[in-house]
Amino acid sequence: MPREQAVILLLAVGAVGVGTTAAILQPALFRLGQEGTPASFSGVRYGGSYRAGRWVAAPDRSRAWSGFQGRGPGTAK
């Protein structure tokens, strides 16, 4: 097999290996007890964070959002 074909094949196998392993293992996923908070999704605020392995509630829980976020098409609003 010519060398460039071996390199391309290796790349394909490597891409599948790395991508599939990372998708299954998700090594960067938050583990309870780890410093900080999990990844935030839309509209989510965490009410504290992990410090030294313990969940510490944040004292300030003031609302900081404006309510409706939807735009609607153009003239609708």
Residues forming the site for other proteins (CB under 8 A): 4-5, 8-9, 11-13, 15-16, 18-20, 22-26, 29-33, 38-39, 41-48, 55, 57, 61, 63, 65, 67-77
Q: Which is nearer to other proteins, 9 or 51 (CB)?
A: 9
23 conformational bin, left if phi > 0, alpha if psi -120 to 50, beta if neither: alpha
Task: Give the integer Cα–Cα distance in Å for 75 and 52.
Answer: 51
Q: From the CB of 51, what's the least distance to other proteins, in Å?
A: 13
Per DSSP, 19 falls in state H
Please say which residue, 24 or 52, places its beta carbon nearer to other proteins: 24
Minimum CB distance to other proteins smaller for 30 or for 35 = 30
Q: Is 3 left (phi over 0), alpha (psi -120 to 50) or beta?
A: alpha
